């Protein structure tokens, strides 16, 4: 692409993460403007997207939409139909990564280390007492209950006591038809950003996430100063290599493209467990992917440009 081509930065939309997406999209649009690109900022409305893109003569879309549409394959589907090149993962990989239950099946099929789990569906929602007994018997009480298709820690409940299981299941089933229950891994929380270089994923330095409150919930994620981020994470060389390898294998197993971020828990013994992959990771200058890129000398505008030129 050349710099005269209009780049549409698409953000917002109907998802519960729209507000955060607008911050991401605005930061990307500002950075690419600074780099000399012609930028059109578009608030996602699926019904008018086509005419908006045509009106500005966009040649490529920078996808900055978190959650619904941007991360679940729907926006990708629309753009494929319009023959419009776009950044990040394709339709199917996006849909797989957005669904924690489906992701789990891909990880298990590829023998990628991930917490022990149970999956519950619609008919289980009718008998939560029985579901609770199954959980206690097979995973124990210390679990994490997750709605299959939410992000940003919405619909994720860490259960510490038996009395917390049913309320957690109720909340998860309110948000999603399928629910994933995982064994809780106590240890350290890590995340690995990946970029695509010459068609292959390359892991950036590992980030260690240390929330002051002890749990990395919505508040810890989005409140300034509530969490410390250590990059590169203070880990031995072999643990770092192990965690980066898990991230690369996850990227390949899910068939991702462009930039992505894989969340991993590390237990006391140094074993990593993959939680999930994020296909449209936050991209404000203080987000995690830009922090990892900065650790290898890539500035925020450079990072945005690298992602843009990898659009296909």
Ligand X SMILES: Nc1ncnc2c1ncn2[C@@H]1O[C@H](COP(=O)(O)OP(=O)(O)O)[C@@H](O)[C@H]1O
Give the three-state DSSP class for 276.
Answer: strand
Catalytic-residue membership of 71: no
Write down the catalytic residue from 71, 182, 189, 276.
Answer: 276
- With CB under 5 A as the rule, give the number of residues binding Mg ion: 1
| Tokens coding 31 | 């950075």
Gap between the Cα atoms of 173 and 125, Å rounded: 7
Tokens 């100063």, located at residue? 225
Write down the catalytic residue from 261, 272, 273, 305.
Answer: 261
Strand segments, DSSP code E, in 198-291 are 200-203, 207-211, 227-230, 260-267, 272-278
Within residues 2-21, the interface with Mg ion by CB under 5 A covers none
Catalytic-residue membership of 220: no
Closest separation between CB of residue 1 and ligand X, Å?
A: 32
263 lies in the site for ligand X, by CB under 6 A: yes
Write down the catalytic residue from 21, 89, 94, 152.
Answer: 152
Gap between the Cα atoms of 193 and 277, Å rounded: 10
Tokens 């994470």, located at residue? 233
Q: What is the radius of gyration, based on Cα positions, of the chain?
A: 19
Q: For ligand X, which residue of 23, 58, 68, 275 counts as binding (CB under 6 A)?
A: 275
The interface mask with Mg ion, positions 235-264, x = CB under 5 A, is ----------------------------x-
Catalytic-residue membership of 222: yes
Within residues 130-169, the interface with ligand X by CB under 6 A covers 144, 146, 151-153, 156
* Number of helices (H), then strands (E), in the chain: 11, 13
Pick between residue 115 and residue 301 the one whose CB is nearest to Mg ion: 115
CA distances 224 to 113, 208, 219, 284, Å, are: 32, 17, 9, 13
Catalytic-residue membership of 263: yes
Binding site for Mg ion (CB under 5 A): 263
Binding site for ligand X (CB under 6 A): 115, 144, 146, 151-153, 156, 182, 184-185, 189, 216, 263, 265, 275-276
**Residues labelled as active-site residues:** 17, 152, 222, 261, 263, 276, 278, 282
């Amino acid at each position: 692409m050349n710099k005269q081509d209009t780049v549409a930065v698409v953000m917002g939309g109907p998802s519960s993460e729209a507000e955060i997406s607008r911050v991401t999209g605005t930061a990307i649009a500002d950075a690419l403007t600074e780099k000399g690109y012609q930028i059109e900022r578009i608030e996602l409305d699926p019904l008018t997207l086509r005419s908006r893109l045509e009106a500005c003569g966009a040649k490529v879309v920078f996808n900055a939409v978190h959650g619904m549409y941007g991360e679940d394959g729907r926006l990708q589907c629309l753009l494929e139909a319009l023959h419009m090149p776009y950044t990040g993962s394709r339709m199917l990989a996006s849909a797989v990564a957005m669904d924690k239950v489906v992701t789990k099946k891909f990880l298990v099929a590829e023998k990628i280390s991930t917490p022990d789990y149970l999956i519950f569906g619609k008919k289980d929602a009718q008998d939560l007492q029985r579901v609770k007994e199954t959980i206690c018997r097979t995973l124990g009480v210390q679990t994490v209950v997750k709605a299959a298709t939410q992000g940003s820690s919405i619909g994720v409940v860490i259960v510490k006591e038996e009395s917390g299981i049913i309320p957690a299941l109720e909340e998860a089933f309110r948000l999603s038809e399928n629910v994933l229950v995982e064994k809780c891994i106590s240890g350290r929380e890590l995340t690995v950003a990946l970029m695509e270089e010459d068609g292959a994923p390359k892991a950036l330095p590992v980030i260690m996430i240390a929330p002051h409150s002890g749990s990395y919930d919505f508040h810890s994620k989005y409140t300034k100063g509530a969490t410390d981020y250590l990059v590169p994470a203070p880990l031995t060389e072999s643990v770092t290599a192990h965690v980066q390898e898990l991230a690369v294998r996850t990227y390949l197993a899910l068939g991702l493209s462009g930039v992505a971020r894989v969340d991993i828990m590390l237990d006391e013994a140094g074993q990593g467990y993959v939680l999930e992959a994020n296909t449209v990771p936050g991209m404000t200058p203080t987000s995690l992917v830009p922090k990892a890129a900065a650790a290898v000398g890539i500035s925020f505008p450079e990072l945005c440009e690298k992602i843009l030129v990898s659009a296909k």
